[in-house]
């Protein structure tokens, strides 16, 4: 498993909070570690952001990894969670579009 991450590249607006940043990173299908969070986004409390995301209902997978005699957590969204969130996001945008164009 590759534990080196790069910042996701997309055309969306830059996330405003650390939670939004971590969520956007995970939504690209990339994994993230504490070191990645600090190196890419200067987030020093990844475990707390993950806890907050889980509390909000996002199903985040994790695994303890040992590399060069150092132990750390690796976080990611599994494919089912990614598909569910994408499906919910597309339904939300369709619902708001329908409300705009609904007859009065």
pLDDT at 102: 46
- Could you give the CA distance from residue 104 to residue 98 in angstroms, rounded to a whole number? 12
Helix (H, G, I), strand (E, B) or coil at 104: coil
Domains of the chain, earliest start first: 18-78 (1.10.10.10)
Sign of the torsion angle spanned by Cα atoms 86, 89, 93, 94: positive
The pLDDT tens digits of the residues spanning 76-95 come to: 998 887 888 777 777 776 65
pLDDT at 3: 54
The pLDDT tens digits of the residues spanning 14-73 come to: 668 999 999 999 999 999 999 999 999 999 999 999 999 999 999 999 999 999 999 999
pTM: 0.70
Rg (CA), the chain: 16
- Could you give the CA distance from residue 83 to residue 81 in angstroms, rounded to a whole number? 5
Angle value at C-alpha 66, between 20 and 83, nearest 5 degrees: 35
């Amino acid at each position: 498993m590759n534990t080196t991450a790069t910042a996701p590249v997309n055309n969306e607006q830059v996330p405003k909070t650390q939670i939004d940043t971590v969520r956007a990173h995970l939504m690209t299908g990339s994994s993230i570690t504490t070191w990645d969070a600090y190196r890419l986004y200067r987030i020093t409390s990844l475990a707390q952001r993950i806890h907050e995301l889980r509390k909000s209902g996002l199903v985040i997978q994790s695994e303890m990894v040992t590399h060069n005699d150092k132990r750390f957590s690796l976080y990611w969204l599994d494919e089912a969670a990614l598909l569910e969130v994408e499906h919910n996001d597309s339904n939300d945008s369709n619902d708001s579009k329908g409300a705009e164009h609904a007859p009065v």
